[in-house]
Structure 1
Amino acid sequence: MSAETPAASGQFTRRREQFRAWRGTRPFWAGLFVLLAGFPIAYFPYAHLQVGHLTLAMATTAGAGSLIIGVLLGVLGISLWFQKHVQVFAGVAAILLGLVSIPVSNLGGFLVGFLFALVGGAMAIAWAPGEPPVPAPAPEAGTNAGAAPGGAFPEGPAPADDLGTNPYSTGPAQPERPSFSKGEGPGEPHDLHDLSGTSPANGANGRHSAG
């Protein structure tokens, strides 16, 4: 294999994708059917069928009319490719020309051109441009899937007594009560129920401490 084969293959793939993108933005198949409908309508009135030594001429008195209908169908098919905004007009005109070709051009090119014109015109009328898909918004980095939505709770610590800001508050904080447990440290009050260290001068019934 030559070294140019991968490059040629890549170029062919790129051209094919470009053609596919171009084809998807216009009524391509409708224009193709209308364009093909013009060939049998314009050809058969000027064709000659050879059967053995016998030549059959299928020309009719309206041969010029058949040629005009075939050319108009070809123009309408190309217009659907490059002027997609005329799709409705081109579709209606193709259907009418296909109907006129039945009495004028050998039953519309032996019904082949008539059917192609009918199908292509209907496809052109029914075609509508597609809308590009809307990309979904990407989730922000660092966010958890189960996190609460933004703005649901205020940022920063909320005051404890503000029930409107913090719905989970139980009211203002209660002040701490002094502890009267024994032996918590120097300078701290002793237990109120411990009367071992009281003296008679305090007016309480007790005993002097030993020693």
Structure 2
Amino acid sequence: MTDESPALRERIRGWRLAFRGWRGTRPFWAGLLTILGGLPIAYFPYADLKIGQMTVRMATTAGAGALIIGILLVTLGLTMWFHQVVRVFAGVASIVLALVSIPISNLGGFLLGFLLSMSGGALAIAWAPGKESGEDPAEPEGRSPQTEPDDTALDDLLGRTDAAGGDPFPPLDDGGRTVNAVGGRHRG
């Protein structure tokens, strides 16, 4: 081992952590599956399969359509990675293109490209950005955590305070159970 090995390990660890952070802020797997789904859809209509002396071509009359669908799926996968704001559009477009590839491109790249693109599109639609590390995941955005709701502002707004400043709806006694004047019942 040389003296550079710990520095190289730390650099690789830093790259790995940076990639993990980048990957966590976008629908990475959705984009990857969509890209991988576009490749067989675009490739198979132009591929020549050689079996011994015999060459088998999978070309269809809509070979250009298969190439366009494959390129669009790769582009949509990259869009999911670098513009995650339009992930829902990219996911829906990926699903539509995967469905269109069935009749146009050899059953969607022999079902391989079809299944990968459908899965990628579904993952893109289902993906949601995570919360920042400082935020409470149970608390909705824009709200501050409170232990008890404060109804004084609502009472002031509606004019429901009595002259003494107490409870505008005093509880009534009902034989061991407390009945509120507004109709709510609970055990006392």
SS of the residue 1:131 aligns to = coil
Unaligned ranges ≥5, structure 1: 137-211
Q: State the one-letter code of the partner of 2:18.
A: Q
The whole-number CA distance in structure 2 between the counterparts of 1:134 and 1:64 is: 50
Q: State the one-letter code of the partner of 2:81.
A: W
- Structure 1 residues 135 and 65: CA distance shift in structure 2, 3 A: closer
What is the Cα deviation at residue 134 of structure 1? 3.8
In the TM superposition, 1:74-153 aligns within 5 A as 74-134=74-134
The whole-number CA distance in structure 1 between the counterparts of 2:134 and 2:96 is: 39
Q: TM-score, normalised by structure 2?
A: 0.70
2:183 match: none
Q: State the one-letter code of the partner of 1:28.
A: F
4+ runs of 1 displaced by more than 6 Å?
none
SS of the residue 2:131 aligns to = coil
2:58 match: 58
2:29 match: 29
Kindly indicate which of the two structures has a greater share of residues assigned to strand.
2
1:10 match: 10
The whole-number CA distance in structure 2 between the counterparts of 1:69 and 1:134 is: 42
Equivalent residue pairs, number: 136
The whole-number CA distance in structure 2 between the counterparts of 1:135 and 1:30 is: 25
1:191 match: none
Unaligned ranges ≥5, structure 2: 137-188
The whole-number CA distance in structure 2 between the counterparts of 1:13 and 1:80 is: 26
In the TM superposition, 1:34-53 aligns within 5 A as 34-53=34-53
Larger relative CO (CA 8 A, sep 6+): 1 or 2?
A: 2
What is the Cα deviation at residue 120 of structure 1? 0.3
Identity of aligned residues (%): 61
The whole-number CA distance in structure 1 between the counterparts of 2:134 and 2:21 is: 18
What is the Cα deviation at residue 3 of structure 1? 1.2
Q: Select the structure of larger CA radius of gyration.
A: 1
What is the Cα deviation at residue 133 of structure 1? 3.8
The whole-number CA distance in structure 2 between the counterparts of 1:119 and 1:42 is: 18
- C-alpha offsets along residues 126-175 of structure 1, whole Å, 9 cap, x if unaligned? 00011124479xxxxxxxxxxxxxxxxxxxxxxxxxxxxxxxxxxxxxxx
